Structure formats: structure tokens, C-alpha cells
Amino acid sequence: MAEARRILIVEDESIVALFIEDLLEELGHTVAGTVSRLEEAMERGRQGGFDLAILDVRLHGEDVFPLADLLVAQKTPFIFATGYGERGIPERLRGAPTLQKPFRPDELADMITKLTTGPAAQS
């Protein structure tokens, strides 16, 4: 298993957020917080205090891409979690790790491990 990380969850569906929280805790990670609105997510992004973020692509009708841009600029890894797959992500962010909802626990675990132990984690 990857080293335990503090992970921010950005998700507007409470049942999905709870599912992700449970998965992260089972994997030995700490939930740094759960936010459901873009404005709050942007503030948390600026404050930091987490190692990685899991981002739903749409939050109450707003795209999460401004937060993704902020995290890229800060070199904070993140995972898109979306029912739309990569086609719902703008070209500039297409290389970002993406999980297709619904995803399996092992897919999330593998993605976190790759992001926190691979070459990208060293930059």
C-alpha cells in the first residue's frame, strides 16, 4: 500500500462523497475534508493542507476546472472522478488521472499509489 496521505474530496453528491471517504479510510488514508461547492473548493485549494485531491468534474452545475488549474500550478496531484470520462475534460487537462464513475476500490487505490509513488510524485 502507498504511504498514508491526506486527501481532499471535492464531490457534490453526498452518498458518493461518503463512499469515497469510507474507501480512503479503509486504504489507510486521512480525509482532509469534503467540499461540495466550487467556491469552497477553491478556498481549500488555496489553503492547502492536503497531499492529493479527488475532484468530481461538475459541482452543482459548475465545472471544477478552475480548481484543477490551481492544483496544477501548485503541483498538487489530483484525480478526476466523473461519469463522463475523459471526453468531459478540457484538452488542457486531458492528461490528468481520471476515474470513470462508478469506480472500484482497487482502481482508486491503484491511482493513488501511482500518483504518490511514481515519477510524477517526485516533481
Q: For 24-69, write each residue's pLDDT tens digit.
A: 999 999 999 999 999 999 999 999 999 999 999 999 999 999 999 9
C-alpha 113 chain-centroid distance: 13
pLDDT tops 60 at residue 120: no
**79-110, pLDDT tens digit by residue?**
999 988 777 899 999 999 999 999 999 999 99
Higher pLDDT, 107 or 120: 107
Give the separation between CA 29 and CA 22, rounded to whole angstroms.
10
Rounded-to-5 percentages of helix, strand, coil across the chain: 45, 25, 30
Residue 122 pLDDT exceeds 60: no
Q: How far apart are alpha carbons 36 and 53 in whole angstroms?
A: 13
- Helix H or strand E segment including 71: helix 65-74
Which CATH code is given to the segment(s) 6-117? 3.40.50.2300
pTM over 0.85: yes
Q: What's the confidence (pLDDT) of residue 49?
A: 96
CA-CA distance, 30 to 58, in Å (whole number)? 24
Q: Which residues contact 23 (CB under 8 A, 6 or more apart)?
A: 105, 108, 109
Based on DSSP, count helices (H) and strands (E) in the chain, helices before strands. Answer: 4, 7
In the numeric block, which cell numbers belong to residue 21? 471517504
